[in-house]
Amino acid sequence: MFTNTSPMLAYTNARIFTGNELLDGFAVTTVDGKVDSIVRIADLPAGISMIDLGGHFLAPAFIDIQIYGGNGKLFSEDLTPAAIAACYDYCRAGGAVQFYITLATNSMEVFMKGIDAVRAYWEQGGRGLGGLHLEGPYLNPAKKGAHLEQFIKMPTVQEVKQLLHYGKGIIKIITIAPEQCDDAVIQLLLDSGILVSAGHSDATYAQAIHAFDRGIPAATHLYNAMSSLQHRAPGVVGAVFNHPTVRSSIVPDGIHVDFAAVKIAKKIMGERLFFITDAVTPTASGAYPHVFKGDRYTMPDGTLSGSALTMMKGVENLVTKAGIEMGEALRMASLYPAQVTRTDSTYGKIAKGYAASFVVFNDEFEVVETIFE
């Protein structure tokens, strides 16, 4: 990964996707880790340090808001800054420089240790980590998927307050089944600045719409582990489709969701649909042993438990298998995750004042370099 040590740099000889448009014949200049300008090559100031990107694409670096581990380190089994660093390296190799390390439904003790590990990672200068995503434990057992039922529970205001107090500034996202949580709990989460996402839910259409109208802004891995769209029972999927503002993640590996279903969702939702990897890594021990099956991960009993995606592979799949235009696929990996996490004033675009965080990739959707000044 390139690290900037000079006062001003110009990235040249690249096809620049700004988040809005594709530019040829331009350069991106940066100062102090931020984008300063996008200018024509001929207008670059004399003597500026230049980095030739070899004619490849330059785009905003990606953001993965749900990933469990990488490079052989599953966070729930190795609750350490080293495991988070391994996940960061995995993300960076796939074009992402921002990620939200995720813990599945587990004991409160594991959640507390995860909070401690995130805090230590930041204190040690660890990069790229936006915060902690708790997927559970307030889920619906009927849609538990690979989550362990013995840890699934109904929330109390007191327990949620304790969790939020201990994880203040660290817990950024919580996936809940809204029908398992009363309005007071949901309001507490929202008032605490948590990104609340509806998932692992068997809610009716009416229950899901009520939750979204109450302020839940997102849903977790569309179609998977949620009540499906039926013509007499539209379920959570129907509520996500019909609600005017709710966003949703999706896992574009062709296994969690057929690419035809991705295409349908995109036509309906437009800019409200973004994607995650939901990636795990092999482990044979602990509460969540993940077995690699060539193109996916399962629990030992065969239950689908996570993907083997990178963010770059997700972009490629969306373009080549779901027929989504490349610029829009890139926004689904960068701008839209930044918007849902409320970091879109810093990430998701190449524009003046934004972080100098870029992915460089070639025509075959291979990451050439990830830049995070």
pLDDT digits (tens, 9 = 90+) for 170-205: 999 999 999 999 999 999 999 999 999 999 999 999
* pLDDT tens digits, one per residue of 239-268: 999 999 999 999 999 999 999 999 999 999
In words, the CATH class of domain 62-340 is alpha beta
More confident residue, 338 or 45: 338
220-242 mean pLDDT: 98
Supply the pLDDT for residue 21: 97
pLDDT > 70: percent of the chain: 98
Distances (CA, A) of 113 to 90, 109, 174: 22, 6, 16
d(CA 144, CA 121): 30
Does position 3 have pLDDT exceeding 90, yes or no? Answer: no
Q: How confident is the model at residue 236 (pLDDT cuts 50, 70, 90)?
A: very high
pLDDT > 90: percent of the chain: 95
Helices (H) and strands (E) in the chain, counts: 10, 22
* pLDDT tens digits, one per residue of 14-61: 999 999 999 999 999 999 999 999 999 999 998 899 999 999 999 999
Backbone angles phi, psi at 191, to 5 degrees: -65, -20
Contact (CB, 8 A) for 38 and 350: yes
- Buried/exposed code over 289-326 (b: 16+ C-beta within 10 A; e: otherwise): bbbeeeebbbbeeeebbbbbbbbbbbbbbbbebbebeb
Q: Per-domain residue ranges for the chain?
A: 8-59+349-372, 62-340
Q: DSSP 3-state assignment of 70?
A: strand
Among 83, 85, 47, 194, CA closest to 134: 194
Contact (CB, 8 A) for 18 and 33: no
Does position 67 have pLDDT exceeding 70, yes or no? Answer: yes
pTM value is 0.95
Supply the pLDDT for residue 2: 45
Instruction: Output the CA torsion 359→260→173→186 (10° steps).
Output: 160
Cross-strand partners of 273: 248
* Helical H segments across 283-347, by residue range: 311-320, 326-333, 335-340
Domain 8-59+349-372 shares a fold with domain 62-340: no
Mean pLDDT of the chain: 96
Q: How confident is the model at residue 1 (pLDDT cuts 50, 70, 90)?
A: very low
Supply the pLDDT for residue 7: 82
223-239 mean pLDDT: 98
Distances (CA, A) of 73 to 96, 341, 349: 17, 25, 30
Helix, strand, coil shares of the chain, percent, nearest 5, are: 30, 30, 40
74-102 mean pLDDT: 97
Please give the single-letter amino acid code of residue 229: L
Supply the pLDDT for residue 360: 98
- Buried/exposed code over 197-227 (b: 16+ C-beta within 10 A; e: otherwise): bbbbbbbbbebbbbbbeeebbbbbbbbbbbb
Does position 5 have pLDDT exceeding 50, yes or no? Answer: no
CATH 3.40.50.2300 at 8-59+349-372, yes or no: no
Q: How confident is the model at residue 6 (pLDDT cuts 50, 70, 90)?
A: low
d(CA 150, CA 202): 18
* pLDDT tens digits, one per residue of 265-290: 999 999 999 999 999 999 988 889 99
Backbone angles phi, psi at 222, to 5 degrees: -45, 140
Active site residues: 278
